[in-house]
Amino acid sequence: MAASVTPNSNYKLVRLANGTFSIHSAAEKETFHPVVGPMAEAEALYIGQLKLRERLRNHDGEFVIWDVGLGGGGNVMAVFHATADLLCPLRVVSFDRTTEALRFALEYAADLGYVEPYRAPAEEFLKAGRVIFRNGAQPVCWELQLGDFPAFLRGAPTASAPHAILFDAYSPAKNPAMWSAPFFGDLYRWLDPARPCAMPTYSRSTMLRVTLLLAGFYVGLGHATGEKEETTLAANTLALLDQPLPRAWLQRARRSRSAEPLREAVYRQAPLTPATWEELQQHPQFQ
């Protein structure tokens, strides 16, 4: 992976082993979409396993996506690219603490590739915090929620419940507040039980899966992507999961030395407590 450093910036443009470019955050010491690049990773992790094209094609009314971790805009722009021929109106709400990565991506739009077709709406989005535009056949409303996402979830509802969530937070060791039991409990409470919603994420950790289950989600095996042989797909209905975790998985969780959910925003690893083990067995997915 070769790097091109931009002076006075928290970000670098990096060339990945497959020749595509991505963005590296110097502050977090993490590269976005580090193996296959933004578009290929978004297609495998989000668009494909969320069955977005199928769901939008068969959907009546507006389809709402929460883009949790806007970053350089790779995930949301991959969605725009993949669904531009569909007529279903799309509302995307992007969440992040900063828009600096997207601003950086616009500077290097030609190198990154995925940004250039959406330069004009992205510039308006950054300027006004909201843009309405025509994405081919598709009407799009793209909104920004800037700030602390866990704090947003603890507040009064100010956004429509999603049909899909692109969950792309920094790793638990770097950002434990967005992988904790209270956080996922708050997120689940925002969902509308009458509105099926699925959420993929790149992690396959036992701790994450236990946390999601105890928050109320159904949890299944997710598609491989990049260096990940397996990811995780959570949903508020079992019908959106192709491969739900089987009851036999519970024994793996019980043996794990890193399965107990984070009860506060401090990263650590621990086996299941007896109380968590009892609660986990009662989840409807395993009955």
What is the domain count for the chain?
A: 1
Band of pLDDT at residue 1, cut at 50, 70 and 90: very low
Q: Is residue 13 part of a domain?
A: no
Pairwise CA distance, residues 271 & 132, whole Å: 48
**Are 231 and 200 in contact, with CB atoms under 8 Å apart?**
yes
Confidence bin at 277 (pLDDT 50/70/90):
very high
Within a domain: residue 96?
Answer: yes
The residue assigned the tokens 């491989």 is 224
In a domain, 22, yes or no: no
Is the residue at 57 inside a domain? yes
Q: What is the pLDDT of residue 7?
A: 42
Percent of the chain with pLDDT over 70: 94
**83 belongs to a structural domain:** yes
Flag whether pLDDT at 3 surpasses 90.
no
Read off the pLDDT of residues 17-70 as tens digits, 9 standing for 90 and up: 777 777 777 777 777 766 566 778 888 899 999 999 999 999 999 999 999 999
Characterize 89-103 residue by residue with b for buried, 16 or more Cβ atoms within 10 angstroms of its Cβ, and e for exposed.
ebbbbbbbeebbbbb
For residue 227, what pLDDT is reported? 66
Domain that holds residue 253: 37-286
The whole-number pLDDT of residue 223 equals 81
- Is there a domain that residue 28 lies in? no
Confidence of residue 8 (pLDDT cuts 50, 70, 90): very low
Per-residue pLDDT, 33 = 65
Cα–Cα distance between 58 and 68 in angstroms, integer?
24
Mean pLDDT over the full length of the chain: 91
Q: What would the pLDDT profile of 226-242 be if each residue is shown by its tens digit?
A: 666 899 999 999 999 99
Q: State the first-to-last Cα distance of the chain, in angstroms, to the nearest integer.
A: 47
Tokens of 165: 């969530």
| pLDDT tens digits, 94-117 | 999 999 999 999 999 988 888 999
CATH code of the domain containing 257: 3.40.50.150
Segments in 155-286 forming alpha helices (H): 181-190, 206-215, 249-255, 274-281
> Does 207 reside within a domain?
yes
Higher pLDDT, 251 or 33: 251
Residue 93 domain-assigned (yes or no):
yes
